[in-house]
Amino acid sequence: MERMFEGYCLQTLLHTLVETATTGDKLQPPPSRAEEDSRRPRPRGHSSGNFRDHLLREFNPKPLDQYHDLDDYPVVTDMYSNRALSLLMMPPRIFMLGATGYLGSEFLVLLAHTFPGYPVVALLREPTSQRIAALSAIHPNITAVEGTLDSGDVIQRQAAEADIVINAASSDHSPSVKAILQGLEKSSLARPGQPPLYIHVSGCGIVSDDARGEPVEHVQEWSDIGLDLNKCPPTNMHLECDIPITKAGTRTDVPIRTIILYPGQIYGVGEGIQKTTLWLRIFLDMTKKVGHAGTWGPGANSMNNIHVRDAAEGMLVVLKAALEGKADEGAEGHYFLTSMERKVSYREWTQVFGDILHTKGIIKEAGTRPMPPEVVEPLGHYGWSLLGGNQFTKPERLARLGWVPKHSAELSLLDSLPAAIDVALEEF
Ligand SMILES: NC(=O)c1ccc[n+]([C@@H]2O[C@H](COP(=O)([O-])OP(=O)(O)OC[C@H]3O[C@@H](n4cnc5c(N)ncnc54)[C@H](OP(=O)(O)O)[C@@H]3O)[C@@H](O)[C@H]2O)c1
């Protein structure tokens, strides 16, 4: 998304959204993994290594770090106090990219609720005290490290120290994905037998057709079961990152566990830091500049959608399943993150969008019509692929894990628009 819109002042747009009054604050660096481990109290009579080895040898059929719940430990809890055990269990360390974003911060809310003890290090490009405080208000055990997606060294170092990396920052920024994978290789080498986990957020753009907004008689519907990225139209967005991630997740030497999530059109007002979805912010900015709402071509194209809460819950379901060793990973680790609620064509939602903005007096023209070439052409193939194509998907892997997108059933994309537009207008 980010790459697609870089020609359209996205950076300026997002800058306005995140600008805060506070400057010059010093960022506390996150503790190194060694520091974190050394601060952990040890039970009397055991060096950490011996006790850990003892547990592993005697009781533990899978790596300790994969246990996140004391209930999973019946035999061990008989022998040692819960406290000693929970200290030894070493909650997995998470490195997160995109923690302040719409999907990322919604997920962080749920993560904090479910696993408050898991330390999280967040990559933060503007580490003002206000933004750090906003993260800490959500998660009790979070620290931030300063960097952008282009800070390859920072990303690689943090990934190397992590057990889990969650990337909800960009589906298309290859250098940061490369740095993550390089860091995770180091993590894998440092902890043999306990391969680290990479959860990457991509998008359904991988299956987009080339409809260019025109009606299409038959649109292929893709299942995530049996999904082979090499069978997707090769020039589609996101594949440049997703294919190397999948390759890393399928090799046997220096193993990395990989999972890729493919959200559809995410909507609704979020509960995290960034409360409105990326496409709404972009279309709002674009519509104000052009003076009318619009589509790529006639806008007959559509895709599956998903309420942001359901999307975040889907991420958590997958994380939990992975921690329990129950998730499909690597070659099988592809999860569409979409509901099966009614798909809404671009023409239909931009019509409602344009009418609302017109009623509010923000634009002079109601309704929608195709965007002019000066908007469409600079985005070229990427724009046509994402905004002019159909993306029909079935989230069968998440369904198998028991995930039900109930918020999407309760509030449709079209019904979410009035409140989401109000919040987005306040954000600007
Ligand atoms: N929203 C959707 O409908 C949708 C649909 C399909 C796929 N996706 C994908 O899901 C992911 C998250 O989307 P979103 O809607 O949550 O986007 P978002 O609200 O714009 O959040 C992006 C997050 O990434 C961070 N980020 C972006 N560029 C960065 C950079 N250069 N350096 C450091 N941090 C950077 C942002 O930090 P700041 O807070 O500093 O801006 C923010 O935390 C993206 O990969 C997107 O393509 C979204």
Radius of gyration of the chain (CA): 22
Residues forming beta bridges with residue 166, ordered by sequence position: 96, 199
Contact 126, 151 (CB under 8 A): no
Alpha helices in 332-372 (DSSP H): 346-359
Residue 244, pLDDT above cutoff 80:
yes
Closest-CA residue to 202 (of 86, 318, 288): 318
- Residue 169 CA: nearest ligand 1 atom is 24
Mutate to test the pocket of ligand 1, among 9, 19, 125, 283 (most ligand atoms within 8 A of CB): 125
Spell out the domain ranges in the chain: 6-30+90-427, 41-88
128 ligand 1 Cβ < 6 A: no
Report pTM. Answer: 0.86
Residue 136, pLDDT above cutoff 80:
yes
Residues forming beta bridges with residue 369, ordered by sequence position: 294
Tens of pLDDT, residues 281-311? 999 999 999 999 999 999 999 999 999 999 9
Residue 336, pLDDT above cutoff 80:
yes
201 ligand 1 Cβ < 6 A: yes
Residue 331 makes CB contacts below 8 A (sequence gap 6+) with: 246, 249, 250
Ranges assigned E (strand) in 349-416: 368-370, 392-394
104 ligand 1 Cβ < 6 A: yes
SS3 26: coil
- Residue 276 CA: nearest ligand 1 atom is 19
**What length is written for the chain?**
428
Confidence of residue 43 (pLDDT cuts 50, 70, 90): very low
Residue 142 makes CB contacts below 8 A (sequence gap 6+) with: 99, 108, 119, 120, 121, 122, 135, 136
351 ligand 1 Cβ < 6 A: no
SS3 292: coil
- Residue 171 CA: nearest ligand 1 atom is 45
More confident residue, 19 or 118: 118
What is the Cα–Cα distance from 356 to 359, expressed in whole angstroms?
Answer: 5
Question: What is the whole-number distance in angstroms between the Cα of residue 278 and the centre of ligand 1?
Answer: 7
Class of domain 6-30+90-427: alpha beta
- Residue 205 CA: nearest ligand 1 atom is 6
130 ligand 1 Cβ < 6 A: no
More confident residue, 60 or 148: 148
Mean pLDDT of 240-246: 98
Q: What is the DSSP string of 50-100?
A: HHHHHHHHHT-SS-GGG---GGG-HHHHHHS-HHHHHHHT-PPPEEEESTT
Contact 326, 398 (CB under 8 A): no
